[in-house]
Chain A
């Protein structure tokens, strides 16, 4: 028995396939996705920045910004707090000045695209999503309906990437479907 392997499940399990509403809204779960939260105990010094950069391929982004390394996207989610997102596991070597926490299982990541994706999100968040305000390089942590979410514009392609807590993921997905229903 001890030679068994545990299998990883996507957040939504098998129950929630990608959905499209006309050509206006598409939602898919990005899976697998790996996430690390890095919290600095204070503002990082030069050494910390170098350490960070060496680990993730990008320097810690400024508040509200996304930094992109070769493998990971690094999102600013709070003062001296970042979440790194990647398609493969990341390694952040231990450091005195950073607390590092694996959140790969903790978040569901959804990709929302289509001409009405922004309209759908605007039903839930009071943050201004206008492309001139919420630009490609920015990230917000906000409230969408009853959900806490991290939202950014992925570098490749249009739309939004949304991180929500795993236990809320199904409800969030259902909410997006409800909010998209009028489009298809």
Chain B
């Protein structure tokens, strides 16, 4: 321990009875409870905290709050690494580990600082002017170097171990900022009895007043607000954005300050607060003065210096020069004096020093010098003094701290998030909130109240820093001006002014004022750049909340899912579901399994879980009429008890989905959709029922979750089912293909569809989901074996049934060989757009089958079809949509969409897969590979 040499008396926030140990760059230090990392380092006399972005200039503390541009630190904790954290916002806890950034090999001796030496060669935007040659690949070389030099801290690649949470909250009044102004608002609103939420990013309420030597005056107000049960105070919570509908988004740092982290509790919490009224009381941000070397460690904001002394008893140095252009600098001088720290002089830029403040200063033996502004700092390893211009003459003052105040800029940020721009008020010299949306108001320092008039001194010091973090100097602003980047937005982007982690909180005003002076435009016309959320950077973890990792999306489960998982189903993602690809036996791979399973269906019987199908009940006097308009295929003539295949289009004539329609009663239909389109089809039907034809009396209810569905397919399906529910029920005479019948299985009514996807005799059992697993087990017990979605795909490809890869959002019924289903003599969704010339064009790709010329060759989905097998590039006439090895054919087969399909029939073309260097000669054949007559349905 090297003692806290710069700890002084006072410090209203720290608890000297509670020393805390911490490390900075590996070196141990001690601070007190209540300290921030910044104040503790200051108390320990550590002045060098970081290196700047571009020139690697040594930097120290500049501010005391979230506006800090320089002191960016990496904190490591419990295996987590948090780079770019402002030392001013890190509350000290025992064992804190912090390291500096952007310096190598060490903060004190940083090789990167050579960029400072060559800085004349690398002004703003230099990279736009070079690194272009000699060849066009040159940039890739230079870029690698530049990227290594750029960036601030290192990001860990280890998974974040913390958890994050989210809270939706509601309050009649939300107040941002718990300074005096916000507290008063909270108190007033609280008295009306409504719910009030008061947000402040600091550890405790009080705001600016806490920086005063004596802040006891605010204590009663704080206590009164705390006592109000209807007022919630959120401390350590940054309101980072205002969004539509009077929503305040904020992030609460729940555990970052705690010595021991509760792993179960969230580290941070995202608050989404809905208000009837938002009051912004965000205060003001002190601005720097412009002089050569104003970025040196030891040069800091006058207001911040007060805070370190008064709140933490930490001395920024041992001898201070105050440089100010407003009255607030004097308070800083008094605080230094009160702490026993000598004040060399107050350099006041104004023509006359203010009375009685100046008198008060002189009484304390402080020299007050009017018409004085710093020209440059004297720095060698540490700050030694300043050279000032005093009424035209040069004078030197010794010091190791410069406390500067360039005035206070209201923190207008949140007032502009909904699109307003702040207005420049000439008389006060500041940008103030303007054009506020209804429901939002501003109070306190944010409106300029209590702030001194602001006057930005233009500076001729070329190497005065405007943006400390991004190393933008007056010279850069001048260069931007010279080169025509004069709009503030161009200035920002060309020089990177205000684009750092502090978003120019202490830079933008000086930058735009300098540009205004150069162009001769008034500041009002120059304007600000756009303020955007977040107000201060917010962790991505907090924004992501609970919905990460496995919770990114819900996982939908069929009622039979547990069984698949427990019985060897190889599960694969399918949209929001996971479905069994197949059930490989020990030693069997999935390819073998799917072929075995497909054979089983063709030869005997198999069962597959198709619960993921969408299912919709359409009821009402106009149900038939409604569905007739929804499907392009015929609906109205469907008899009660019968079912049929149906196709529906989007209004642009493209196929949207296909499925089964069954008529349960005169006014009652049961329809299925594909798994992938279920939600879309439901919304589509609701749209047309509610918006297009509200006069139709129809009700549309999703029963996707009400019914589990099991397809029982294969020549032995009838026999199998008869065993469970009696042979009579499955008599072809009373239960023909295709139809729907309600049949009791084990005491439960099951909707049985005689429909077939495989081409074999098949039944789909739609059973109330609670009973689906039990029915599945009964089927197994009766001798059935399961098959998965891969076998299902084989079966449908052999039959030439289209599915997702063919119904890809571009294909029309004709493209898919479904033209004969379309009833142009009725009105339906999509009819009119089918009649466009481009839709009728024969060159549109349409469905065909492909068989390999050499039967051993595999045809892959995603292969492109060409007429030739030579040449790296070749015109494509279509592509393979689906493919498999066909057990019935004994060779690979595929479905494809190709141009001029009719002409191409029986021709040999090439399925090319250059991604794997494969070319397969294939013959264009019918898309139906198996049982074109449909005889198997009745076997």
> Given A6-B775, A128-B170, A146 and B547 touching (CB < 8 A)?
yes
A15 at the interface (CB under 8 A from B): yes
Contact B768 A104 (CB under 8 A): yes
* Cβ distance B72 to chain A, nearest Cβ, rounded Å: 30
Contact A41 B705 (CB under 8 A): no
A20 at the interface (CB under 8 A from B): no
Contact B546 A178 (CB under 8 A): yes
- Produce 1/0 per residue, B245-289, CB < 8 A to A: 000000000000000001011100000101000000000000000
* CA–CA, A170 and B746, complex, Å: 27
Tell me which residues across on chain B come within 8 A of A156, comparing CB atoms. none
> Given A2-B725, A106-B703, A179 and B546 touching (CB < 8 A)?
yes
* CA–CA, A123 and B726, complex, Å: 52
Tell me which residues across on chain A come within 8 A of B769, comparing CB atoms. 105-106, 166
Tell me which residues across on chain A come within 8 A of B556, comparing CB atoms. 167-168, 171
Contact B768 A7 (CB under 8 A): no
- A37 touches which of B698, B701, B725 (Cβ 8 Å): B701
Contact B168 A122 (CB under 8 A): yes
- Produce 1/0 per residue, B157-177, CB < 8 A to A: 000000101111110000000
Contact A167 B621 (CB under 8 A): no
* Cβ distance B26 to chain A, nearest Cβ, rounded Å: 34
Contact B169 A182 (CB under 8 A): no
A109 at the interface (CB under 8 A from B): no
> Given A9-B770, A128-B274, A174-B551, A123 and B558 touching (CB < 8 A)?
no
List B residues 690-725 near A (Cβ within 8 Å).
697-699, 701, 703-708, 723-725
* CA–CA, A142 and B556, complex, Å: 18
- B774 touches which of A6, A126, A127 (Cβ 8 Å): A6
Q: Which of A48-56, A63-71, A95-103 is found at the contact surface with chain B?
A: A95-103
Tell me which residues across on chain B come within 8 A of A104, comparing CB atoms. 706, 768, 770
A26 at the interface (CB under 8 A from B): no
B771 at the interface (CB under 8 A from A): yes
Contact A101 B617 (CB under 8 A): yes
Tell me which residues across on chain A come within 8 A of B697, comparing CB atoms. 41-42
- Produce 1/0 per residue, A113-137, CB < 8 A to B: 0000001001111111010010000
* CA–CA, A169 and B745, complex, Å: 26
B572 at the interface (CB under 8 A from A): no
List A residues 79-110 near B (Cβ within 8 Å).
96, 99, 101-107
Chain A residues bordering chain B, tally (CB within 8 A): 52
* Cβ distance B49 to chain A, nearest Cβ, rounded Å: 34
* CA–CA, A106 and B768, complex, Å: 8
* CA–CA, A126 and B724, complex, Å: 49
- Produce 1/0 per residue, A23-49, CB < 8 A to B: 000000000100001010110000000
> Given A6-B771, A41-B620, A178-B551, A166 and B724 touching (CB < 8 A)?
no
* CA–CA, A178 and B165, complex, Å: 10
Contact B699 A41 (CB under 8 A): yes
* CA–CA, A39 and B553, complex, Å: 30
Contact B165 A182 (CB under 8 A): yes
B166's closest neighbor in chain A, by CB? A123
- B554 touches which of A6, A128, A166, A171 (Cβ 8 Å): A171
A160 at the interface (CB under 8 A from B): no
B585 at the interface (CB under 8 A from A): no
Contact A167 B557 (CB under 8 A): yes
Tell me which residues across on chain B come within 8 A of A105, comparing CB atoms. 559, 705-708, 768-771
Contact B770 A123 (CB under 8 A): no
A13 at the interface (CB under 8 A from B): yes
Contact B771 A7 (CB under 8 A): yes
Tell me which residues across on chain A come within 8 A of B620, comparing CB atoms. 41, 99
Tell me which residues across on chain A come within 8 A of B775, comparing CB atoms. 6
- Produce 1/0 per residue, B759-789, CB < 8 A to A: 0000000011111111100100110000000
* CA–CA, A39 and B767, complex, Å: 22
Contact B264 A182 (CB under 8 A): yes
* CA–CA, A124 and B620, complex, Å: 36
- Produce 1/0 per residue, B271-312, CB < 8 A to A: 010100000000000000000000000000000000000000
Tell me which residues across on chain A come within 8 A of B748, comparing CB atoms. 6
Interface centre among A10, A127, A128, A147 (most CB of B within 10 A): A128
Tell me which residues across on chain A come within 8 A of B262, comparing CB atoms. 182
B555 at the interface (CB under 8 A from A): yes
Tell me which residues across on chain B come within 8 A of A101, comparing CB atoms. 617, 619, 701, 703, 706
* CA–CA, A147 and B554, complex, Å: 8
* Cβ distance A110 to chain B, nearest Cβ, rounded Å: 14
B747 at the interface (CB under 8 A from A): yes
* CA–CA, A132 and B78, complex, Å: 42
Tell me which residues across on chain B come within 8 A of A175, comparing CB atoms. 546, 551, 554
* Cβ distance A126 to chain B, nearest Cβ, rounded Å: 5
* CA–CA, A39 and B701, complex, Å: 9
- Produce 1/0 per residue, B618-633, CB < 8 A to A: 0111000000000000
B611's closest neighbor in chain A, by CB? A167
B697's closest neighbor in chain A, by CB? A41
Contact B265 A182 (CB under 8 A): yes
A152 at the interface (CB under 8 A from B): no
* Cβ distance A34 to chain B, nearest Cβ, rounded Å: 10
B227 at the interface (CB under 8 A from A): no
* Cβ distance A104 to chain B, nearest Cβ, rounded Å: 7
- B705 touches which of A2, A4, A96, A106 (Cβ 8 Å): A106
> Given A107-B705, A167-B705, A182 and B266 touching (CB < 8 A)?
yes
Tell me which residues across on chain B come within 8 A of A2, comparing CB atoms. 723-726
* CA–CA, A155 and B770, complex, Å: 26
List A residues 130-169 near B (Cβ within 8 Å).
130, 133, 145-147, 165-169
B562 at the interface (CB under 8 A from A): yes
Tell me which residues across on chain A come within 8 A of B617, comparing CB atoms. 99, 101
* Cβ distance B355 to chain A, nearest Cβ, rounded Å: 55
Contact A166 B699 (CB under 8 A): no
Tell me which residues across on chain B come within 8 A of A128, comparing CB atoms. 170, 274
Tell me which residues across on chain B come within 8 A of A41, comparing CB atoms. 620-621, 697-699
Contact A126 B274 (CB under 8 A): yes
Tell me which residues across on chain A come within 8 A of B265, comparing CB atoms. 182
- B778 touches which of A6, A10, A179 (Cβ 8 Å): A6
Contact A9 B774 (CB under 8 A): yes
- A6 touches which of B163, B547, B621, B746 (Cβ 8 Å): B746
* CA–CA, A130 and B195, complex, Å: 10
* CA–CA, A114 and B274, complex, Å: 25
* Cβ distance A87 to chain B, nearest Cβ, rounded Å: 14
Tell me which residues across on chain A come within 8 A of B553, comparing CB atoms. 146
* Cβ distance A12 to chain B, nearest Cβ, rounded Å: 10
Tell me which residues across on chain B come within 8 A of A32, comparing CB atoms. 770
Contact B724 A146 (CB under 8 A): no
* CA–CA, A1 and B724, complex, Å: 6
* Cβ distance B138 to chain A, nearest Cβ, rounded Å: 47
* Cβ distance A39 to chain B, nearest Cβ, rounded Å: 4
Tell me which residues across on chain A come within 8 A of B723, comparing CB atoms. 1-2
Contact A8 B771 (CB under 8 A): yes
Contact B554 A146 (CB under 8 A): yes
Tell me which residues across on chain B come within 8 A of A170, comparing CB atoms. 555, 557
* Cβ distance B812 to chain A, nearest Cβ, rounded Å: 32
* Cβ distance B487 to chain A, nearest Cβ, rounded Å: 39
* CA–CA, A58 and B923, complex, Å: 68
Tell me which residues across on chain A come within 8 A of B165, comparing CB atoms. 123, 179, 182
Contacts beyond the supplied A99-B701, A181-B264: 10 A-B pairs with Cβ under 8 Å: A1-B724, A39-B701, A41-B621, A101-B706, A103-B703, A106-B706, A124-B168, A167-B611, A167-B705, A172-B554
10 contacts between A and B (CB under 8 A): A2-B726, A5-B746, A6-B767, A6-B778, A8-B770, A13-B773, A107-B705, A126-B168, A145-B547, A167-B705
- Chain B residues within 8 Å of A, Cβ to Cβ: 163, 165-170, 195, 262, 264-266, 272, 274, 545-547, 551, 553-559, 562, 577, 611, 617, 619-621, 697-699, 701, 703-708, 723-726, 745-748, 767-775, 778, 781-782
Which 10 A-B pairs give the minimum distances between C-beta atoms? A106-B706, A99-B619, A6-B746, A171-B554, A99-B699, A105-B769, A105-B768, A106-B705, A39-B699, A8-B770
